[in-house]
Structures are given as structure tokens and as C-alpha cells.
Amino acid sequence: MSKLSDRYDPGPQLAQCGTINLGTKNLEKSLFFFRDTLGMEEVERDGNVSYLRCYQELGHHSLVLTEQEENIVNSYSFRVKRPQDVELFYEELKRQEIEVLEIPAGSETGRGTAIRFLLPGGDHPLELYYDIEKPLAPEHMRSRLPSNSSKRRGLGVRRIDHFNLQTSPATINQAEQWARDTLGFKRREFAYLPDRPDTLLASWMSVTPQVHDLAIVANGMDKTAQLHHVAFNAQDFSDVLTAADVLRDLDVSYGVGPGKHGIGQAMYLYIFDPGSDHRVEIYAGGYMIFDPDWEAIEWKKENFPDGLTWYGDPIDVKPGSRGRDTTGSAGLHR
Amino acid sequence: MSKLSDRYDPGPQLAQCGTINLGTKNLEKSLFFFRDTLGMEEVERDGNVSYLRCYQELGHHSLVLTEQEENIVNSYSFRVKRPQDVELFYEELKRQEIEVLEIPAGSETGRGTAIRFLLPGGDHPLELYYDIEKPLAPEHMRSRLPSNSSKRRGLGVRRIDHFNLQTSPATINQAEQWARDTLGFKRREFAYLPDRPDTLLASWMSVTPQVHDLAIVANGMDKTAQLHHVAFNAQDFSDVLTAADVLRDLDVSYGVGPGKHGIGQAMYLYIFDPGSDHRVEIYAGGYMIFDPDWEAIEWKKENFPDGLTWYGDPIDVKPGSRGRDTTGSAGLHR
Amino acid sequence: MSKLSDRYDPGPQLAQCGTINLGTKNLEKSLFFFRDTLGMEEVERDGNVSYLRCYQELGHHSLVLTEQEENIVNSYSFRVKRPQDVELFYEELKRQEIEVLEIPAGSETGRGTAIRFLLPGGDHPLELYYDIEKPLAPEHMRSRLPSNSSKRRGLGVRRIDHFNLQTSPATINQAEQWARDTLGFKRREFAYLPDRPDTLLASWMSVTPQVHDLAIVANGMDKTAQLHHVAFNAQDFSDVLTAADVLRDLDVSYGVGPGKHGIGQAMYLYIFDPGSDHRVEIYAGGYMIFDPDWEAIEWKKENFPDGLTWYGDPIDVKPGSRGRDTTGSAGLHR
Amino acid sequence: MSKLSDRYDPGPQLAQCGTINLGTKNLEKSLFFFRDTLGMEEVERDGNVSYLRCYQELGHHSLVLTEQEENIVNSYSFRVKRPQDVELFYEELKRQEIEVLEIPAGSETGRGTAIRFLLPGGDHPLELYYDIEKPLAPEHMRSRLPSNSSKRRGLGVRRIDHFNLQTSPATINQAEQWARDTLGFKRREFAYLPDRPDTLLASWMSVTPQVHDLAIVANGMDKTAQLHHVAFNAQDFSDVLTAADVLRDLDVSYGVGPGKHGIGQAMYLYIFDPGSDHRVEIYAGGYMIFDPDWEAIEWKKENFPDGLTWYGDPIDVKPGSRGRDTTGSAGLHR
């Protein structure tokens, strides 16, 4: 008997938030943070480029640290569902007359052919790929659990979770609509700017049952292409508390948290990589959306503070003490 | 611009583990357990039938308790992805010459038209539906979080998670293969019987990124159509510990747990509904599978104990004290 | 062989933070909070007076709710170590020419003879007692664990933890010194007012290895005898998170938290009893002081914010939103 | 005004469980365990002797690892409450005609004069001391929290908690009685041997509000002077789960746990130091005894399994798989 699904063609789709390539001015400080403190495995070092993954990731890497002169994000990469989807998305981008590059296999070690383009309305450098090697960890790091690539270490981040991108209010609607129409993201929760009711303040979107694999947020500054944060997932709320406890005592710039978002119902902690100054979220929990008829939740101005912070260290929109600004870290793109 | 996905037809698919209809000899005792202790909302009572949902479920119900003379499972229901999928699955079943009934809308209050058939190789009564009402909770129970249908209460179970079905070793391979080929389940982890290397001991399968929405397990008794357990999801490992603490002190039959499965990496606690004697799992955590090329993990005999119990109260295959048997609860189907 | 300790006389000492008698304008609302939400047992009701205890308290009560016209605190009671210590403290107070009343047994149901006086420098009504009945809970509430008086329920507060009293900067030094000299409290952590370096801002003191059974804090308002809060203890940080989650969704006035104090290293959540408007802390964790030569920790102005909030929802000294003021609740005493 | 307590003499008393000196055949393996995995600070190394403390301990050490040919316990040390108590206990031991040695200051680096004797009825080598240095950690390890000597690391054990000693049924009553009469321990919970109702199976005792700083357990083997385990305290139940998760994946011999004791209500995890093969408990939570009139809880045979394991991985009395024996580790004393 053949599979029922073989009789249908779902078309090209994204599978997951895949990898991020962060520029860092100080690779050793970034490795102190991601590898030695958060507990990621350095899978490979290639000169000034380091490839890392979390203990529950089987693929070659989810984070690339590239030592370079500017703390920019070199790429946000999503993995597609099928090998042919890279090509199918390439054709679709061509059809839409969007400039798209083919990135040869191995440009990021362990990764196959990718395509690269700028998010319309955002100018963030996106890449799509399918093939990625699944190397075994060195024997002393290998886990006895076959679903883990290595033993749990450090603060126990287990996988990349999502990207939060900032763009200008002038183009955020375009960026979000394009991500939904072409990349297949579903809008899960959203808010409009209080003073511009047709312009998105933020949209949380996913191609998976997570509330978001991608968020797009207005930066209020008419700049495009900022990273607000990249999130790494931990098992439990208590892991975020432990991370907060440990990170408060280290010489790194501490942001906001821990607290629980009303939006997504997950626990958050924002911290800055001391090497690159990029904002990183330690993230746990949240609800899953399995309902196929999910209606996106709109957060009105009066409830939005609850959406940002249901309980815990409040996220303010005001710039200020302890890194509470939402204007992005160093993440401007070329 | 139209959506890219509109140009493709993914065919009929399941969306999620939807609802279970449990027969119970003692509705009041079952309500003490599911509503008053676990904290579910009784959305509606219709004579001897009670409809319940968890605080993070927007649909009308995920659990139906039907007071009747036998503690059997009346149905296991999956929700499909699109309205037309109910009809498309109906046609496929007809094509395969499987007996299938149409269940009119409202047979379960709040639910639309469903189809009903017996799992080939398992004889478990499965139902597929799409439409389900999304009633607001009574005002005093309503949550300020729009993604929650009601306030968190009791032991805080938040959604139905998965079904674990038992069937005979003689037919388990057929049942599992059919679930994969026709219903679209993907095999995530599995084991063969130690003494019958071509016959499944168990297969954990999902249509979502969860490790399993459905498990099929050999019961070693040449009986078909048993429920091993139905699982309800809690946020954190600590919620399972709290549930264990509270449930140990109540007059209900306690099973096994808490402990952490190696398979799926989730925390478990097994407990018996005092009304129906069905086994229920309180379940939290676990890993997500976003990799589109996931290779199912095989558990060999020597590692299988780690798969059942990575740490905590060990799951034995031997029958015995404190409900440690795996021979199923009262769950034989007609 | 006789006990070595029988050859010595340690003198009168306090054993523990015992009971608090809260005036409430609305007993039913207070019972909704303490009994139905926090999970305390109502041991006895005597007209407009309700006696409650937590599930890990064997004594008759740790909380008395008295319905009356003013939301004041009627008494803060400490239990002494030996039966004769009530009388010995009485004599000491007489010796110091402090007005002291004998409160007959049964004035609080279940409690023996007590003495009552106003804290010198604070005017808070303190009571000392030794005898207290240890009634069994009703059979359906009784725990199978003999160290628990009843089954865990609700948000799972397990015992009274400490009192935090406010008094005027003009007299705080006197109050704190008297508590140390006469009642035997040890100063564990403290801070001086930023602009008055000889005047205490706060002192955390204990007669047990806890960091504090009693805190005395300057209220900045030249008022004496305010309650800042009474704290109830929960097992784990995760219990405080769960309490925050549930309480945010109830119609009660939410204060500050959760967060972790640097002072004492415990998790906090401040909430207001909707019946009496008194501030209550849900409190978990913290460090123990077993060192007999503990040197009290002084918090200087520059580190004091870390002392109040190591991580989480920050405690501000500024009055303001979400109950973040430290000016006390309705707790003025007659 | 003088302190009231200055007018009385409480006599010599113990303050706390202080330090343990473990012989280990393999110091490097023991350091991998205690320092690199559990996260203790190695304060000083003196040839084949290593001094360690936890992050919440200000004293010089709570653990001494001495590389030697036998995996025995060299001493169990308690700290006394006042400087003069060392001498006062010395006199009392002389009075009782118990052989007692004076151990000069510095015999354990950082510690003052101690006295040493064998527990009557147990033959365990006990030491009592008062003076201990409080060195600052190296600057890069120092915590910003003044109540912590160093930053939290590894699995986050924060202080030594208690000793569990085994002795022969023939002498256990004598040992326990002596500890109560002379050292001032209070019996908190206990059980008699099922077949010898006048002979203790176990007694949990404390000089602090903890349920036990010291347990004495019958070993069923007519041997004296065994260590069952030494316990180190972690903040929360979740820390024990994390420790279990990590330790299951390391090449160390795993014992029993995690689970929650009914006795003491704390979470346990037993693991063996790979260097010395001594059993170590990771311990969190539990209830506090502030009641001065606490009546020791007796566990009868029928409830004793609940006392050992309220939930979680059950502690068996049967020897067997995964280190579930209670016959002690290598801990026979000279």
C-alpha cells in the first residue's frame, strides 16, 4: 500500500528555524557565552568561524559565530521541508523578481546548497537550505539518549527556538505579509501601533505549532534590518530561573527577565552576548497551536503590557536601565 | 498577491489528537478526578454525559465522560486539518473497503460531522472531525489571557496530549503501518519485541512536531483494542511533581511515576481515574522534532529500560505493586 | 544518663514566628483568598473569627481572621521555647517597666495563656505564648504524611514564615535594638537610610536559622506600627511562579513579583488579601544560617537594588503602578 | 541595656553539620565529581589533600578529600556554637571516660583546635570544632551576593546538609541515645526494626530546625561505623531533577532517585563519588521544625515504604540493580 500523502503535493514549505550566523568582534568572548556558559557544543572551528549546536540538535549547527569587524547578523536561515523546496523557493523568488543568490554547499560547513535574499520590507538577509550533516559528537560528549547529540551541560539550552526581527514601521506590514504569503508563516498573535491602527507593532508567526518561529517587530526608528533577539530554548521555567541566577553573577550585560510573556505564555530572559552585543533570549515553555483554525490574537493597547509581561521583570517600551530598551542591539545589517 | 500555498493541495491530513470519549461506571468520581483534581472545566453536562476541556484548549471539549455500564473507550478522535478532509478520509476508507460510519454533527455536543471506523489491526474505535465550537467559559472562569479558555486551576493540566493504544502482537505491525500510510503519522521512536525481531513492541508516532500524538504498543495478550493511557499535558516537570505529591495523598489508585522517559524525554506520572479505572498520564516536557528528515530511533533490548525510565520511578514490564502493570486498565472495547 | 543540656538554663527564648491576627472588613473575601486560593485549612470558625493553618502546620492556627471595621493587625504572635518562658518574658517586661497584659488561655481558640505588649519603638502589638493545641484535621482532609496536618491544596502555602513590620525612622533603631536585646533576635542583614547613615532603613532578624523571622523597615512617613507584609512559605521557586500565574488571573490586587531577593536569596511574590487589603508574601527558598559567628551583612546604597531584587520583577522604592509602593497596606494599628 | 540572653548559660551545644573528611583512592576522579560536576570550589590543595566548599558556605571547607589507600571516612565534624564549647565538650567526654584526642589547629587547613572521639555505640570518628577561617574566593569566582562565597556553578550544590551513619543493630540504640543526651540532638522521626520492636531501624535527629543533621541507621550486618551517605543541599526540587538528568549521562555509578522522602519531605538523589565510591545524596527541600514541643514521628512497618519514598524512584531494602542497596558504600572505618 502506498502512502496517502504520496498522492498529493504540498508545495515548498519551511520546516523550522534553522541557523543564525552572527558577526562578533570578539569570538573568544562569544564562545565563553554560548559554549562555556549556555552549554552549546562547538562542533567545528574554521579559522575565525565557529559552528555550534545545542545538546538536543542533531544537525551540524544552529549558530555560526564569525569574527569580523562589525557585530551584524550575516544571515537568518530556515530549513525547508523537502530537498526540492530550495529550488522551488528559488523559482518563486525569481517569479516575484526578488534578487536571489545561490550559496554553494559548504559555505557554511556541514550545510548543503542554500539560497539567499533580503526579506522584502525588512532587508534582513534570509537563507533557505535543506541539507545539513548530522555529525556525532566526540565520544566523551556523546549522550546515551539517542535524541540528544551531546550530554546536557552549562545552562542547558537545548535548541534554537526563534528569531525576532525588527524593521521600520514604514515597511513592517509588507515584510509580515510577504513572510505569510510566500514563506507560509501563519500569524498567531499580533498588535498594531497604538497611534497607527493599520500598522503592525508586532506579529508573532510560525510554520510549526510553536506560537512563533519568527517575530517581526516595528523598531520605531525607521531603520530596517535589525535583530531584536535570537532565542534558545530550555526545558522548563526553572531552567530560566537558574540561568538568570547564574548570569546575574557573570560579567555579561544583563537585559530583562525572567518573566512570563502573556503572548505565547513562555518564560523569557534577555541577555547580551558579551562578544557581539547581540541580544539573546533564554526561552522556555509556552503553549502549542494544534488548532488548524487558529484565529490570530490581537493585543490592544490596554492589554499589551500583560502580553509583554504576564508576570515577572516587566518589558518596557521606554529605553533605560538594565538594558530594558527594545531598540535592538548592535544588529544593523549592511 | 496570493499565497504560495494556495497553489498546492497537501491532501487530507490529521491536525491533532482531539478528543477521547471514556465510558465510566461512576461519573461523579470521574468528575472529582478530571474536573476537581486535575482542574479541567466542565463545559457542558447532558444527562449522563459530561464534556470537559483543559484551560489552554479553546475547543468545546477534549474529554467526554459517558456514564455507562462498562469502563470502555467509546472513541478516540483526531481532528483533521481542513473541513474537506473529513470527506476525503471517508472516501479513502471506502476505497480501502474499510467499514466507515458517518456520525452526525452534535452526536458529541459542540462537534460537527465525524466519521467513525475501527483501526485496522487494532479495532480501536477512531473518529475524525473538523468542526468544533469554541465557547467562552463562564465569566468567572474566563482567563485574561486570550490563549487560555479559562483560568488555571487544580493540578493545571492544560491540554490533551496523546493516546497510547495497545493491540495484539499478531496485528500491531498492520495497525502501525496503516496509521502511517493512511493517517499520515510519522514513526519517531520504536522498539521490536525482544523475542520477535520483526514485530513491534511499540511505536511512537506523530502528525505534529511532538514525539508522539499516538503510540501503539503490543499488549502481549493477544487482545486487541485496549487503551494503555490517555495523556494530558502540564507546563513543567515541577507540575508533574506537584501532581504526584497531591495525588499520592488522595484516595485514587496511583500508578507509576514521576519519572522521565528516555523515549521522548518527557516527565510522566500514571494515575487511574477512580470513576472509570482508565489509566491517565500527566505529562510534561519532551523534545520537539522539527527536522524533516528525522530518522526513527530504534530502542534495542539492552537500552530499552533507559527508554522507559531515564530517571525516576521505573516502569517495569512485570505486573505488580502500585499499579506497575502494562497490561492496560479496564480498557477493552466492545 | 541525664542529658547534658539539663544542667544548663538557656533562659527565655522565642521559638518561632507563630500566629498573626488580621482584622478584615470582609471575612468571606479573606477566606476566598487564604483558604480557597492559597489552600489553608479553616480549622475553626467562631462567629466573625476564623482560625486557619497551612498544611505543614500541626498547631491550631497561624492565621486568625477577625471581621471588624478596620483592616488593622490585632496582634503579631511569637511562640516561646518553653512553657515557663511566657512568665519569664512577662517578668522581664515588668522589670523594663513596659506595659504588659496577660491574655487568658482561649482568647484565641486553641491557644494557651499569652502576654501582650507594644514593641518599644514600634508600637506593634506583640504577643508571646507557648501552649497551642494540635488538632487533627477532618478525616477527608488529613494527610497520609504525619508531618502534614492536612493534604496539600490550592497554591500550596505550607507554613507562616515571617513578619515584616514598618515603623518610623525616628524610632526604628530603638525597636530593632530592643528586639535583639530582649527577644533574642540576631541581626542577619541590614541597611542604613541613604541620607541618614546611623538610622536603619531595614533589618532582617531571626531567632532561627532562617535569614529572618522578623524584619523591621523604616516607612519614611513618621508613622509607627504598620504591617508591611506577612509571609507564607511555599516549597519551591516553581510554586511561587504557579502562584503568580494563578493570582494574576484572579480578581485580587497584585503587588510585585515574582522575583528573587538578593537579601535572603528567597523568591517573593506580593499580593493583597482582597478582604483586608493587607499585603501578603508568597515566599520560597533562601539560604539558612547555621554559622554561629554570622556577621550581619550590610547593604550599601549602590548594591541595595540587587538586595531587593536579584532578578525578576523589581521592587522599587517609588510609589506607583501595580502596587509597587513600600508604604504599607492598610496596616495602621490603633 | 544588656542582652537578656547574656544572663543565662545554655551550655555547650552543636551548631551545625560542619565538614566531612573522605578518604579517596583517586583524588582526580573525586575532584571531577565534587568540583567539576557538582560545582564545589576547591579552596585549597595541600599535596594529596583537597579542601572544598559549596557556593553558599563562607567557611574554609565542608569537604576534605584525602587521597589514601582506603576509601574510608576519616572524620565527621560538627561545629559547636561557642568557642568555649570545644573545651566544655572535651570535659564532658572525659567525665564520661570516653577516649578523646585534641586535634591541633591547622590539622585541617583553615580550621582551629578540634577534639576527636569515637561515637559510643557507633565507633564513627567524630570531631568537634569552632574556629574556621572564612577566606574570600578568588576574584573571578566571587559572587556579587555577599551571602555566597562564590558564584553558582555546575549542578549547584550550595551547602553540606547532613550525615547518615550506619551501625550495628546491637549498638544503634546506644549510639542514638548518646547523640541525644550528650550532643543535644533531638529525635525528629524514627522507626524500629520490624522484627525487633525495641531496636531502632533508623533515627533522624537534628540540632537545628532541619529534620535531620544526623541520621543513624541500622545496617543489618553487625558492622559498626559505616557511612551510608553524606548529603549536599540544593535549592529546589528542580535542581535535583537537573542533577539526575546530567548524572545519568556521566560515567559515574548512579544510585537511587530522584524521589521524595515521606520522612523529612525532601527530594533525594543518591550517587557514588567515582573516586572514593562513597554514596552522596543531592538533597533539596523538606520541612522545618520550629515547634519546640515536636513529638518524634514513628514510622510503623506498614507505612515505612511511604516514609522512604513518597513518590519517585523507590528506595528498596533489597540489594539489587542500579545501586539500590542500603548496605553502605565502601565506608568502613578503621
Q: Give pLDDT tens digits for A43-81.
A: 999 999 999 999 999 999 999 999 999 999 999 999 999
Q: Give pLDDT tens digits for A98-138.
A: 999 999 999 999 999 999 999 999 999 999 999 999 999 99
- Read off the C-alpha cell for B232: 494530558
**C326 inside domain:** no
H or E segment to which residue C23 belongs: strand C14-24
AA letter at B319: P
Give the residue among C53, C171, A306, C9 at the shortest CA–CA distance from D291: C53
- Read off the C-alpha cell for B224: 486487541
**B147 inside domain:** no
Residue A153 pLDDT > 70, yes or no?
A: yes
Q: Give pLDDT tens digits for A77-93.
A: 999 999 999 999 999 99
Contacts with C257 from chain A: Cβ below 8 Å: 311
Nearest residue on chain A to B286, alpha-carbon basis: A235
Q: What is the CATH number of the domain that holds B28?
A: 3.10.180.10
Q: State the chains in contact with D (3 or more Cβ–Cβ pairs under 8 Å).
A: A, B, C
CA A4 to chain centre: 33
pLDDT of residue C329: 37
Contacts of D283 (CB under 8 A, 6+ apart): D161, D162, D231, D232, D233, D234, D240, D266, D267, D268, D269
Q: For chain C, how big is the Rg over CA atoms in Å?
A: 19
Residue D328 pLDDT > 50, yes or no?
A: no
Residue C189 pLDDT > 80, yes or no?
A: yes
pLDDT of residue B1: 60
Percentage of chain D surpassing pLDDT 70? 93
Nearest residue on chain C to D58, alpha-carbon basis: C291
**B68 inside domain:** yes
Torsion of CA D243, D248, D254, D256, to 10 degrees: 60
- Residue with more model confidence, C162 or A322: C162
- Read off the C-alpha cell for A261: 510573556
Coil/strand/helix, residue B179:
helix
Torsion of CA C4, C10, C12, C16, to 10 degrees: -70
Long-range contacts of D55-58 (CB under 8 A, 24+ apart): D55/D143, D55/D148, D55/D149, D55/D150, D55/D151, D55/D152, D55/D153, D55/D156, D55/D158, D56/C265, D56/C287, D56/D147, D56/D148, D56/D149, D56/D158, D56/D159, D57/D149, D57/D158, D57/D159, D57/D160, D58/C291, D58/D134, D58/D149
Residue B319 pLDDT > 90, yes or no?
A: no
Q: Give pLDDT tens digits for B27-42.
A: 999 999 999 999 999 9
CB pair distance less than 8 Å for A291 and B58: yes
The burial class, CB within 10 Å (0-12 / 13-18 / 19+), for B321 is exposed
Contacts with B312 from chain D: Cβ below 8 Å: 244, 258-259, 312-313
Interatomic CA distance for residues C274 and C234, integer angstroms: 20
Residue B216 pLDDT > 90, yes or no?
A: yes
Residue C250 pLDDT > 50, yes or no?
A: yes
Residue B26 pLDDT > 50, yes or no?
A: yes
Contacts with D185 from chain C: Cβ below 8 Å: none
Domain of B84 in residue numbering reads as: 11-134+158-308
Give the least confident one: C33-37, C279-283, C326-330.
C326-330
**C148 inside domain:** no
The contact set of A with D (CB < 8 A) is: 143-145, 151-153, 156, 236, 238-239, 242, 245-246, 248-250
Q: How far apart are the first and last CA of chain C?
A: 53
Residue B25 pLDDT > 60, yes or no?
A: yes
- Read off the C-alpha cell for A134: 548530522
Q: Give pLDDT tens digits for D107-135.
A: 999 999 999 999 999 999 999 999 999 99
Question: What integer best gives the mean pLDDT of chain D?
Answer: 93
User: Given strand C266-272, what is the order of strands in its sheet?
Assistant: C297-298, C186-193, C196-206, C214-218, C159-167, C226-234, C279-285, C266-272, C259-260, C311-312
Question: What integer best gives the mean pLDDT of chain B?
Answer: 93
Contact call for residues D248 and B310 (beta carbons, < 8 A) = yes
- Mean pLDDT, residues B101-121: 97
pLDDT of residue B200: 97
**B36 inside domain:** yes
Residue B287 pLDDT > 80, yes or no?
A: yes
CB pair distance less than 8 Å for D291 and C16: yes
Residue C252 pLDDT > 90, yes or no?
A: no
- Interface predicted TM-score (ipTM): 0.94
pLDDT of residue C225: 80
Task: Compute how many other C-beta atoms are within 10 angstroms of the C-beta atom of residue D171.
Answer: 20
**How many domains does the structure of chain D reveal?**
1
- Read off the C-alpha cell for A330: 548592535
pTM of the full structure: 0.95
H or E segment to which residue D94 belongs: helix D83-95
pLDDT of residue A134: 98
Q: Give pLDDT tens digits for D242-283.
A: 999 999 999 788 999 999 999 999 999 999 999 999 999 999
* A interface test, pick of D238, D241, D247, D251 with most A CB neighbours within 10 Å: D238
Chains A, D: CB contacts under 8 A, how many? Answer: 36
Residue D159 pLDDT > 60, yes or no?
A: yes
Q: Which residue has the cell 516527565?
A: B267
From the list C238, C248, C310, which residue is nearest A237 (CB)? C238
Interatomic CA distance for residues C304 and B137, integer angstroms: 45
- Mean pLDDT, residues D65-90: 97
The burial class, CB within 10 Å (0-12 / 13-18 / 19+), for D24 is buried
pLDDT of residue D225: 80
The burial class, CB within 10 Å (0-12 / 13-18 / 19+), for A87 is middle
**A148 inside domain:** no
The burial class, CB within 10 Å (0-12 / 13-18 / 19+), for D1 is exposed
Q: How confident is the model at residue B224 (pLDDT cuts 50, 70, 90)?
A: low
* D interface test, pick of B241, B249, B267, B315 with most D CB neighbours within 10 Å: B241
**D215 inside domain:** yes
3-state per-residue secondary structure call for chain A: CCCHHHHCECCCCEEEEEEEEEEECCHHHHHHHHHHHCCCEEEEEECCEEEEECCCCCCCCCEEEEECCCCCEEEEEEEECCCCHHHHHHHHHHHCCCCCEEECCCCCCCECCEEEEECCCCCCEEEEECCECCCCCCHHHCCCCCCCCCCCCCCCCCEEEEEEEEECCCCHHHHHHHHHHCCCCEEEEEEEECCEEEEEEEEEEECCCECCCEEEEECCCCCCCEEEEEEEEECCHHHHHHHHHHHHCCCCCECCCCEECCCCCEEEEEEECCCCCCEEEEEEECCECCCCCCCCEECCCCCHHHHHCCEECCCCCCCCHHHCCCCCCCCECC
Interatomic CA distance for residues C31 and C42, integer angstroms: 8
Chains A, B: CB contacts under 8 A, how many? Answer: 147
Residue B117 pLDDT > 80, yes or no?
A: yes
Long-range contacts of B249-255 (CB under 8 A, 24+ apart): B249/C143, B249/C144, B249/C145, B249/C151, B249/C152, B250/B37, B250/C151, B252/B33, B252/B37, B253/B277, B253/B323, B254/B322, B254/B323, B255/B279, B255/B322, B255/B323, B255/B324
**C88 inside domain:** yes
Chains B, C: CB contacts under 8 A, how many? Answer: 36
The contact set of C with B (CB < 8 A) is: 143-145, 151-153, 156, 236, 238-239, 242, 245-246, 248-250
Give the residue among D207, D230, D134, D105 at the shortest CA–CA distance from C290: D207
Q: Give pLDDT tens digits for D276-315.
A: 999 999 999 999 999 999 999 999 999 999 999 999 999 9
CA distance D237 to chain A (A): 10
Interatomic CA distance for residues D93 and D87, integer angstroms: 10
Contact call for residues D37 and D269 (beta carbons, < 8 A) = no
AA letter at A289: I
CA D87 to chain centre: 23
Long-range contacts of B253-258 (CB under 8 A, 24+ apart): B253/B277, B253/B323, B254/B322, B254/B323, B255/B279, B255/B322, B255/B323, B255/B324, B256/B313, B256/B314, B256/B315, B256/B322, B256/B323, B256/B324, B257/B282, B257/B312, B257/B313, B257/D311, B258/B312, B258/B313, B258/D311, B258/D312
Nearest residue on chain A to D245, alpha-carbon basis: A152
